[in-house]
Amino acid sequence: TNKVYLTDLLNSHQLGMPATEILYKERPEDFERVGERLGFPLVLKIPDGCFSRGVIKVESQQALLEATAELFEHSVLLLAQEFFYTEYDWRIG
């Protein structure tokens, strides 16, 4: 499931979900400040990963920069989401 389309779908139906931002590889000024907007920890995802492939939980600005560098090798955009702790591993799609 493409997570960008899923995010748009959930938002269009006003379904609750973590705050989400799309980060573009060519706009590093955005991902340098996403931690300020969403807080840490946050989760980075490639748009077309599955079974946790391309998903990284980051705890700090330094970890964010390292994770974006790694994930941008596989995609030109990423999703950054605020982290919600639950005891259950939620998977949709």
Model pLDDT for residues 28-85, shown as the tens digit of each residue: 888 778 999 999 999 999 987 665 678 999 999 999 999 999 999 999 999 999 997 7
As given in the structure block, the two tokens for residue 15 are 């379904």
CA distance 66 to 64: 5
Q: In the prediction, which pLDDT does 27 show?
A: 92
Cis geometry, peptide bond prior to residue 41 (ω within 30 degrees of 0): yes
Q: In the prediction, which pLDDT does 50 show?
A: 60
> Which of 2, 24, 7, 20 is CA-nearest to residue 77?
24
Higher-confidence position of 80 and 87:
80
Domains of the chain (ranges; CATH) run 3-82 (3.30.1490.20)
Averaged pLDDT, 2-21: 71
Residues 6 or more apart whose CB falls under 8 angstroms from that of 75 comprise: 25, 46, 47, 48, 54
